[in-house]
Amino acid sequence: MLVLVAPGQGAQTPGFLTPWLDLPGVADRLAALSAAADLDLVHYGTNADADEIRDTAIAQPLLVAAGIVSAAALGTETFAAAGSPGAVAGHSVGEFTAATFAGVLDDTAALALVRKRGLAMADAAAITETGMSALLGGDPDVSVAHLEKLGLTPANINGAGQIVAAGTLEQLAALNEDKPEGVRKVVPLKVAGAFHTHHMAPAVETLAKAAADLTPADPKVRYVSNKDGQAVATGAEVLDRLVGQVANPVRWDLCMETFKQLGVTAIVEVSPGGTLVGLAKRALPGVKTLALKTPDDLDAARALIAEHGVA
């Protein structure tokens, strides 16, 4: 069984969209997505520097658009021949990309909503100086208890021993001085705030108002949620979870556990892939993986889909 996954914020790099624009139809599709997001995605995906695309309000729609165009480049006939993916999922903002794969939201609705999400999260991050840090090494249970003692949130529990802490800069400084037992290093992340924590509560309210205008469809393929790793059966619940997840921890570890229970044999990560494939290699040994970084990876991805799809 094949699972199609989409990465979250931080996966973007300067110029990563450039090779995709050489494919027929991609420029037109990105133009439509840019109009929906009211943002020049081609500029930000080709000419913008690292600081520009680190901006939450830009990075989020850029990542969702990249996932949409790279998956589309695989060709709908590829999925039809394989019987479609056995499941789809995304990490953080990648959940919006996955929602388009599942048919819950159409492309333009997803881009319009995720642009509002990015702006709202950037506004929420400006209220208090907050950030995120990755913990290298250590026992997850010990680390989570230690973070909670310091008032920090384990905002991403990614599996394969990877946890990301989030909170105020003062709390993160205390973590650097008082690491959990077994943690080798605390690495500050280049993000604008404490995402997936209570600090994002104002963004949840804004996003909920925007989402109220949408009519989501029920998933056409199994959609696995970051909230608890469970498959969600209705479009209304998917949309509700997309809104609430802004201020709740990402449980990618539980998503991967669900993939395992479903009998996953292969994972394809859409552009700009790499992060989720890396986690899968450590947490799901024996599962074949492929990161769709550039169009040069399309043939290998199609072959994997043909071999592992749920015909």
Instruction: Count CB atoms within 10 A of the CB of residue 244.
Output: 13
70 is annotated as an active-site residue? no
Closest listed residue to residue 87, CA positions, set 216, 224, 217: 224
Token pair listed for 244: 């609430």
Report the C-alpha dihedral over residues 198, 200, 203, 208, rounded to 10 degrees: -40
Catalytic residue, chosen from 146, 196, 199, 308, is 196
92 is annotated as an active-site residue? yes
Phi-psi region of 200 (alpha: psi -120 to 50; beta: other; left: phi over 0): alpha
Contacts of 306 (CB under 8 A, 6+ apart): 78, 81, 82
Catalytic residue, chosen from 70, 84, 92, 143, is 92
Are 84 and 221 in contact by the 8 Å Cβ rule? The answer is: yes
How far from 166 is each of 85, 99, 102, 201, CA to CA, in Å?
33, 26, 30, 14
Closest listed residue to residue 221, CA positions, set 61, 80, 60, 74: 80
Residues that are catalytic: 92, 196
